[in-house]
Chains A and B, each alone.
Chain A
Amino acid sequence: MNLFERMQKLDRRWIYIVVALAIIIPLMIPYDSDNVTTPPTENLYQMIDSFAGREDRAILMSFYHDAATMPELFPMEVAILRHAFERNVKVFALTWSPAGAPIIEFAINTVKEEFPDIQSGVHYCNFGYKPQAFAMILGMGDNIANTMNTDAEGRKLENLPIMKGINNYSEMNLVVEFSGSVAGMSWVTYARPKFGLNVAVGVTAVMAADLYPYLQSGQLIGMLSGLKGAAEYEKLVDIFAAYRDPMIDYSITVDEDGNKILPGRPFGREILNDESSLALSKITTQTKAKFTADQYAAFTAKYPEHLTLLNSLRSDEEGLAVIDVTQITPDMRDQMGEVLFRELNQLTRNTLYKFKVARIGMNAQSVAHIMIIVFIIMGNVGYFIQKARGAKD
């Protein structure tokens, strides 16, 4: 048996080992890579961001899947929840499947740990498992509180602060359906034409091709497809929603005219295209907060009582003032307080593991895709050489 015949008859267990290594190694050793964002993801991000800080707007997240599809769908759900909590967007959640109920709890709890001020019934509301999707979809178009009646904790919806200004789809104007199927089409069929509800979906990669017609026709306003969609959304949240300007004092939440001041910043194409913004979405561990001279002056002006401490931590690199948070001792942390410590950590642009899972996964997917392409090419090379030899003989 020659080499090419052997290649054709390669035991599949060797392929399994190579694929396993191609996935495991990049997961264990993360590296920075750029996930270029696509219009379906950007459109969804911008729609959610347009609700930021508004009492009379909310999004609905429908978790219509079980644990099997969580590796692809869960990072999307976490990214959107993080975006909403960062930018003060009201969130409602439900599931049409009993298996989805614990996923809602898990997703909300995962994100909420980093947002101590976020409260159930005030900033978000979990409807829990609801049977009879079609009836609910249509009912919410008339009145959400009457249709859903209670939340997952059994509280009457009409008594919850989150319901202030929210009656039906005119206010809860966007639904994002997460599923491993084309279940999002129910919203397109029943709620979009009758009530004008904006519909977006987060689906597993294998289902994305089925939904492109609806995206192109405008019936879906956005789509997150598989881990790539989740990675793109994570990147947008890092660059815009989770962005903190060292010169702005975020403890002030209302400006002189009474308008809300929201953390983060609005979506901007020029920011996204700027190469320097890549530094805001790195997945490797970042420990240094970097400031220009003006930024450092403005930042320290917010904490005049800690100026000496900050100066003692400061070093200079490439013309920038740098504070390495790993140099902060427990005593220094006690001295500076939790607010300053948290802000310094945010300014390092370090992202917690749970908020970069999809991007780490995309690194593994990169290598796996390359491996599959190599396998295809190898298989074809072996096939054609063997075929040519057969014809020659």
Chain B
Amino acid sequence: MKKTIPLLIVILGGLIFVAWAFSPHYLIQEVFYNQFYLPWIYAASGFAMFLGVISLSMMHSNKIKRRAPKWQYSYLFFAGFIVTALAGFIGGTQKGSVLMWMFENMQMPMSATMFSLLAFYMASAAYKAFRARSPEATVLLVAAIVVMLAQVPLGVRISRHMPAISQWILDVPNLASKRGIALGVGLGSVATSLKILLGIERSYLGGGD
């Protein structure tokens, strides 16, 4: 019973959405989806956000209580959360507000800095690990160099054919492999979905079976 009811909910929910995806009938498209499902989902999304805030706050407060490793940073979470929320609620989100100032001068540069670290890791990895150890690795290396050169204005100065060669690499060998992967993922998703709908796949219920 403990597993049968959740299983039935999943199967029923899944079948309803299969019907919604494939049937243009008024009952499923208008009555179920527009009149019943949409209003519910709007209400639920607000609660989901609320649940997220509660969950995150509980995690950090527990961390502080237990003096878990790096617990001091949890105070920063609360500081950031409270200050940002107050700035938004009190000052609004329009141009010139405290929230926008914080966004432009704190969040934007800090987030961009984290993202830009990628360039340093890539350069280091390229130097340390990108070796032509086998014919396949050599092909990969040459393709990478051509695409990298064609991406920048300097590449066009080296040869006007560079963008065309790069485009061919992206359009032909790259696409062949991408399509193969996409088809594999698609078929896998369909098979997994069917297994869940038919109650064969139950690992999401927990308990190991």
A residues engaging B (CB < 8 A)? 10, 12, 15-16, 18-20, 23, 33-36, 38, 66-71, 98, 101-102, 105-106, 109, 131-132, 135, 139, 205, 209-210, 212-213, 216, 228, 362-363, 365-366, 368-373, 375-376, 378-380, 383-384
Using a CB–CB cutoff of 8 Å, the interface residues on chain B facing chain A are 34, 37-38, 41-42, 45-46, 49, 93-95, 99-100, 103-104, 107-108, 110-112, 114-116, 119-120, 122-124, 126-128, 130-132, 141, 144-145, 148-149, 151-156, 163, 167, 170-171, 174-175, 178-179, 182
Are B120 and A16 in contact, CB atoms less than 8 angstroms apart?
yes
Question: Given the complex of chains A and B, what is the CA–CA distance between A171 and B45 in angstroms?
Answer: 29
Shortest C-beta distance, B107 to chain A (Å), equals 5
Other-chain contact of B95, A68, A105, A373 (Cβ < 8 Å): A105
Assess whether B111 is in contact with A68, with CB atoms less than 8 Å apart.
yes
Q: Is the CB of B124 within 8 A of A12?
A: yes
Find out whether the CB atom of B112 lies under 8 angstroms from the CB atom of A228: no
Cβ of B170 and Cβ of A10 under 8 Å apart? no
Q: A16-B120, A71-B116, A372-B123 are in contact. List 4 more A-B contacts (CB 8 A).
A: A36-B156, A131-B45, A366-B154, A376-B130
- B37 to chain A minimum Cβ distance, whole angstroms, is 8
Known: A12-B128, A369-B149. A213 touches B179 (CB 8 A): yes
Residues of chain B lying within 8 A (CB to CB) of residue A209: 170, 174, 178
Output the nearest chain A residue to B156 by Cβ-Cβ distance: A36
- B96 nearest CB neighbor, chain A only: A109
Considering the chains assembled together, what is the distance between the CA atoms of A123 and B164 in angstroms? 39
CB contact under 8 A between A379 and B112, given known A105-B93, A105-B94, A216-B171: no
Complex Cα distance, B181 from A212, in Å, reads 13
Q: Assess A376 versus B152: contact at CB under 8 Å? Given A10-B127, A102-B99.
A: no
B152 contacts A362, CB within 8 Å? yes
Q: A362 near B127 (CB under 8 angstroms)?
A: no
Determine the residue in chain B with the shortest Cβ distance to A33.
B153
In the bound complex, residues from chain A placing their C-beta under 8 Å from that of B108 are 67, 70
Q: How far is the CB of A316 from chain B (nearest CB, A)?
A: 33
CA distance A372 to B118 in the complex (A): 13
User: A132-B42, A132-B45, A362-B152 are known contacts. Are A212 and B174 too (CB-CB below 8 A)?
Assistant: yes
> Once bound together, how far apart are the Cα atoms of A362 and B148, in whole Å?
12
Alpha-carbon distance between A67 and B109 when the two chains are bound, in angstroms: 8
